[in-house]
Structure formats: structure tokens, C-alpha cells
């Protein structure tokens, strides 16, 4: 029985795709995933903040307050240049190590200057690009603004690369069907449902009343 399928216009030997995680942050790990039957991998995400830091586009340190929390840790762990270059090297190394499609991933929240980086991802040999969009509903004034930001990001990236694009969306939409229809009109090749947003842990405060 044939298990061949397609995703984002890519032909896969089966429907098993390993998502962005620590399992996809090195060529050696990706090679093992291929050996165990994975048909494609999505590389561990590169953060928009890393790309902007690399290009010197971060205006104020205070902006870090609005960053995705894991991004602060990642950016602090790399020099401005090495984080981005290492990601491009990861794409190249993974493509050299395996025969399955390698999909890059960007964790993003704005349509700023970073979409031009998609050209470098394409040049590095990636087979596709997944936009892991993280916008907290608490950061926008209304639902329409949230949707418009998603659409602006996708359109800007689409204008900068010919790679097939998948968009990972969350479940904070009042009308998912309508919004998905809007996204499909931007020329993307796939959708990933649903994003797992970062959530703070609030520990209960126990107080004794006399």
C-alpha cells in the first residue's frame, strides 16, 4: 500500500512530519528521524527577535518586554550574528544529511524588516517555510487588528520568497473559517492548527482568615 502524500506542494513518502522542537535542531538528530520513518521535518524555530538583532533593527531594549519569553533566552544565548548564521548552516547541513524535505520555521509577531530574511532561507536550500506566528490577544486592541497583522506578515513574506509557506495559527479567533479563507487568498500552501501559545503560570495565593 502506498502512503505517499503531499504537503505544501511537497511530495512526502508518508504523512509523518516532525514539528519544530529540540528534535530538529541538528542535522544528526534529523538524520535519525529520517531513519525512523519521518517524511519531513520542521526545523526548530528561529525568532524574529534574533533576525532583527542581527540586523541592528531592535530600537530599544525596553521592547524586550513584549517579546515571546523564550525568544529573550535564545537571543541572549547568541551573538547578534552567530544565531542567524547558525540557522542558515543548520538548513544547509540538514539538506546535505537527509533526502526528506526540510522546512524552516520563523517565530514572528510583526511584519517588520525581517521578512526579507526569507530570501536567505530560500538560498540556504530549505524546501519550505513555516510561519509560527505568536501574537497574544492581550497585545492588540481588537480582533480585526489581530487578523490584519497576521495577513500583513504573510503577505510581506510571500513577497520576499518563492518557497511554499505554511502558517501556524492559534485558536483565539471568533470566526476561524472566515479567517482561514482570508489567509488562503494570500498564496500560502498550508495551515497548521493550532499554535500552543506561551502562558504564564499563576500560582494560587492561600490566605488564612481569622
pLDDT at 9: 96
Q: Indicate whether this model's pTM tops 0.85.
A: no
Domain boundaries, the chain: 18-193
**Pairwise CA distance, residues 122 & 96, whole Å:** 15
61-110 pLDDT per residue, tens: 445 545 555 655 555 554 444 579 999 999 999 999 999 999 999 999 99
Burial (CB < 10 A; 0-12, 13-18, 19+), residue 52, is buried
Taking residues 143-152, report their average pLDDT: 91
pLDDT band at 53 (very low <50, low <70, confident <90, very high): confident
pLDDT at 65: 47
Query: The domain 18-193 belongs to what CATH superfamily?
Result: Aldolase class I (3.20.20.70)
pLDDT band at 143 (very low <50, low <70, confident <90, very high): confident
pLDDT at 187 over 70: yes
Decide if 170 contacts 197 (C-beta within 8 A). yes
Amino acid at each position: 500500500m502506498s502512503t505517499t502524500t503531499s504537503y505544501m506542494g511537497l511530495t512526502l513518502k508518508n504523512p509523518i512530519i516532525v514539528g519544530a522542537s529540540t528534535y530538529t535542531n541538528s542535522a544528526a538528530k534529523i538524520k535519525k528521524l529520517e531513519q525512523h520513518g519521518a517524511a519531513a521535518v520542521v526545523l526548530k524555530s528561529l525568532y524574529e527577535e534574533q533576525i532583527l538583532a542581527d540586523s541592528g533593527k531592535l530600537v530599544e531594549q525596553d521592547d524586550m518586554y513584549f517579546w515571546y519569553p523564550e525568544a529573550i533566552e535564545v537571543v541572549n544565548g547568541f551573538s547578534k550574528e552567530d544565531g542567524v548564521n547558525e540557522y542558515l548552516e543548520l538548513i544547509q547541513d540538514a539538506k546535505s544529511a537527509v533526502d526528506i524535505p526540510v522546512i524552516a520555521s520563523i517565530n514572528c509577531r510583526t511584519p517588520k524588516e525581517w521578512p526579507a530574511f526569507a530570501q536567505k532561507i530560500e538560498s540556504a536550500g530549505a524546501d519550505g517555510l513555516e510561519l509560527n506566528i505568536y501574537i497574544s490577544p492581550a497585545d492588540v486592541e481588537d480582533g480585526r487588528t489581530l487578523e490584519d497583522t497576521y495577513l500583513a506578515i504573510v503577505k510581506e513574506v510571500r513577497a520576499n520568497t518563492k518557497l511554499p509557506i505554511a502558517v501556524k495559527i492559534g485558536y483565539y479567533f471568533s470566526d476561524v473559517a472566515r479567517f482561514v479563507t482570508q489567509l488562503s487568498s494570500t498564496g500560502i500552501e498550508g495551515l497548521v492548527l493550532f499554535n500552543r501559545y506561551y502562558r504564564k503560570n499563576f500560582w494560587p495565593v492561600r490566605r488564612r482568615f481569622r
